[in-house]
Amino acid sequence: MHDRRNVELKARDRDPAATLSAALAHGASDEGVLHQRDVYFAAPEGRLKLRVQDGGAQLISYARADAASARLSSYRLVDVPDPDALIAALDASLGIVVEVVKRRRLLLWQGVRIHLDDVDGLGSWVELEAVAPAGSDLSAEHAEVAALRAILHMDDDQVVAEGYAAMILASGAATQRLVDRARTAMDRAYVPYSHFHVGAALRDEQGRLHAAANVENGAYPQSQCAEASAIGVLVAAGGRRIHEIAVMADTELIVPCGGCRQRLSEFADGSTPVHLCGPEGIRRSMTLGDLLPYAFALKSAPE
């Protein structure tokens, strides 16, 4: 199976009726309306979702940069005859991260798919996908997207870097799953000396969740906090930014130590939400800036 490729662009749609009219006036064909449900899973590499829509379902594995511009998406499609069974299996093994439900009007213009989307909780959007044939250097696809962007008046301030899943996650949709992952990690902590179990879970820039526990060592300085362990998991999976944090312990109120606050600040910013949890759930939420108001930062951190 070979990767398929698109050049994609996504933007807020200020006037869906005008966008539709402009596309049709410039020769786009109206292919009708699709009702789609995308279920995203916590894949250890890349991104993975199962799309259920009118008439069938497909498992989609893909990689795409988050950039507010036309960007390359490489993907693979697998037809799924029993989506409910596969969702249950993948949820049990990987975990569901978020679901996106949308009503999509599909238009075709030359080699470009135009998606006029009404997304639950997010409103109206327009998405362009120029499908690239095998061997293309992508110059034609970028040109098609640029031309259509001008036709549809997709200004810079409308274009976004994030996908729908990341936007919904940013609104708090993943918080309970993040807490659940921290709880599971806490239960698995290796703490034969202190018997103090801590779990930490992080959401990265792609919406993936990464969790880990504190790991002690008989040489006490070699022990590792849960937050540091979780950062290592995130980095090993290709993550570079932390967008949400949950830390859990069975104590009055768990807070990251000073060292871990600094570690977290390397990958997050002052507005990043931090949930301080007990076994029953969130006890207090604040920002990383509240926890560490004066984080140390080099002017240019090495890659």
List, for residues 121-133, the tens digit of each pLDDT value.
Answer: 999 999 999 999 8
Do 4-168 and 174-291 share a fold?
Answer: no
Pairwise CA distance, residues 73 & 9, whole Å = 10
Which residues are annotated as catalytic? 227
pLDDT band for position 166 (cuts 50, 70, 90)? confident
Share of the chain above pLDDT 70, in %: 97
- Spatial neighbors of 15 by CB under 8 A, at least 6 apart, are none
pLDDT higher than 70, residue 68: no
Question: In this model, does residue 102 exceed pLDDT 80?
Answer: yes
pLDDT of residue 162: 86
| Listed range (97-111, 146-160, 161-175, 232-246) with the worst mean pLDDT | 161-175
What residue type is assigned to position 227 of the chain?
Answer: E
In whole angstroms, give the CA distance from residue 191 to residue 201: 18
pLDDT in tens, 231-288: 999 999 888 999 999 999 999 999 999 999 999 999 999 999 999 999 999 999 999 9
- How many Cα atoms occupy the beta-carbon half-sphere of 130 within 13 Å? 22
- pLDDT surpasses 90 at 135: no
Strands (E), 122-241: 123-132, 198-204, 209-213
**Of 171-175, 221-225, 259-263, where does mean pLDDT reach its minimum?**
171-175
Domain ranges of the chain: 4-168, 174-291
Q: What CATH fold (topology level) applies to the domain 174-291?
A: Cytidine Deaminase; domain 2 (3.40.140)
Lowest mean pLDDT, pick from 11-20, 64-73, 88-97: 64-73
Report the chain's mean pLDDT, rounded to a whole number.
92
DSSP string, 124-144: EEEEEEEEEPTT--SHHHHHH
Strand blocks (E) in the chain: 4-12, 29-41, 47-53, 56-64, 71-79, 96-109, 112-119, 123-132, 198-204, 209-213, 242-249, 273-278, 281-287
**Residue 96 pLDDT class (50, 70, 90 cuts):** confident
3-state secondary structure of 267: coil
pLDDT at position 235 is 95
Average pLDDT over residues 78-107: 94
Nearest to 24 by CA among 91, 107, 130: 107
Question: Average of pLDDT values for 139-150?
Answer: 94
- The candidate with the shortest Cα–Cα distance to 263, out of 300, 215, 231, 226, is 231
Mean pLDDT of 46-57: 91
- In the CATH hierarchy, which fold is given to the domain comprising 4-168? Hypothetical Protein Pfu-838710-001 (2.40.320)
| The pLDDT value given to residue 301 | 53
Question: What is the reported pTM?
Answer: 0.79
User: What is residue 120's predicted lDDT score, i.e. its pLDDT?
Assistant: 96
